[in-house]
Amino acid sequence: MSSNQIISPVHVEKLVFSGKGLARAEDGRAIMISGGVIPGQTVSVRVLKTRKGHIEAQVLEVLEHSPLEQPLPAHFQVYGGCKWLPIRYEDQLRIKDEQVKECFSGLASRGLVSPEVWHPIVASPEIYGYRNKLEFSFGKYISAKEEIHDDFRFGFHKQGEFDRIIDCDFCVLASDSVNEIFLEVNKHARASGIPTYDPKTAKGTWRHLVVRESKSTGKKMLVYSLNTKDPNFDRAIFDTVWQALALRDDIVTQVLFHNSGLADIVTGEAEILHGSGIIQENLLGRTFEIRPKSFFQTNTVGAEVLYSTVLNLVKSSGGTLLDLYAGTGTIGILLASHFDQVYSVEIVADSSADASVNAWLNKVSNFEAVQVPVEKFLKDFIDRGNQADTLIIDPPRDGMHPSAPPNILAFWAREIIYVSCNPSTLVRDLDVFLADGKYRLTDVVPVDMFPHTHHIETVARLELVTK
């Protein structure tokens, strides 16, 4: 089977954790389908790569719809970030719950996961308009095959294509006010005459717009990413754009990133256009500052559910808490009143600095932000003879550095709470903790933070058995 070959018809059996669809070729090989398919659909696909054990393919056309699909309101649009939108939400939860359990099946077959550890999946309190951060892209859509030549697009990238943008009319993951702001920026940007950026030529100006929204106050931050070195950039005209937006009461600050880099990311030298460059969010009675590049869970009310799940699983009190891969210190600050000392460990300098500010803002004095790789901190902490009683681990998608779990085991901590956005790497790391019988798994709680996407958070608790 060769690249670009068309296979049709193909029946989608199920979705795997990555969000890809699983189907079977006539020879029995698995077909992993990207592009947003739904179990029960019959589709045609184009072969991307042929591997030894499976075929990677891209969906081309839906030939028959799935019983799981629901009719959508006319103004709903399905973009790359909300591919599960046509699936009923109760079915989304069921699929995610099954995916987490499937990831744990290897541990379960070895007797390391007992049935009583499973908790029902926790739904997001909101399934529309829940995102507090939206990143929109400017660009073009030029295709001779489709007979399209559009030099100004504003919305989201077409699935799998870095240089083509799909215009956005309404984003279901954004609040109504953020959608209003998007349309207003769209109107002003198009009228400005300033060209959009072309990643093929590295010419043009408009690149990204990020809207950050405090769900507790309704206040918003706008972040513009512009190639201001482009000769067609007109600063005076751009100033009229952001000044028009500043007239809105809910937009309290705006920031410009002078972005001439080649990567499709928001970066560059930051310039505060008006306001402080900061908004504040309230979470479970605590206040957190959010800057243009701060990490903060994108579903605020979902984050309250996630962190409440963590707080409810913590059984220890007193002693030392290590909050590892701590980001801006959210979990450590929320738990600080239960412990004598909290160390918030994070490698990203800006996030660690934000953690210190947030601790000060919330009058948390038993808190120390440490900006260092987790694996280095753990070794140094142990070498100095220190002890930790409870560990919170919330690593990135790739999981923990291989040297970290052995050092964690050396602590003999009473309990470990592991928060993961990737159940496959979670299971890989848990396997190390459970291997010698020192710890047992007491709880596994899937938490849906991202409705209409394939992403799922999972919280697991480990308890010390022997010492």
What is each CA distance from 458 to 81, 174, 300, 331, 446, in whole angstroms? Answer: 20, 24, 17, 15, 4
- 421 carries an active-site annotation: yes
- What residue type is 386 in one-letter code? N
Cα dihedral 315, 316, 322, 325 in deg (nearest 10): 0
Number of helices and strands in the chain (H, E) = 10, 22
DSSP H or E run through 101: helix 89-103
CA–CA separation, 425 and 325 (whole Å)? 15
The separation between the first and the last C-alpha atoms of the chain, rounded to the nearest angstrom, is: 56
Q: Which of 82, 103, 168, 421 is catalytic?
A: 421
Bridge partner residues of 211 (DSSP) = 134, 222
165 CB-contact burial (10 Å; exposed 0-12 / middle 13-18 / buried 19+): buried
What is the residue whose two structure tokens read 């829940």?
A: 130
Structure tokens at 190: 């198009």
Q: How many CA atoms lie within 13 A of 17 on its CB side?
A: 19
Q: Which residues are catalytically annotated?
A: 421
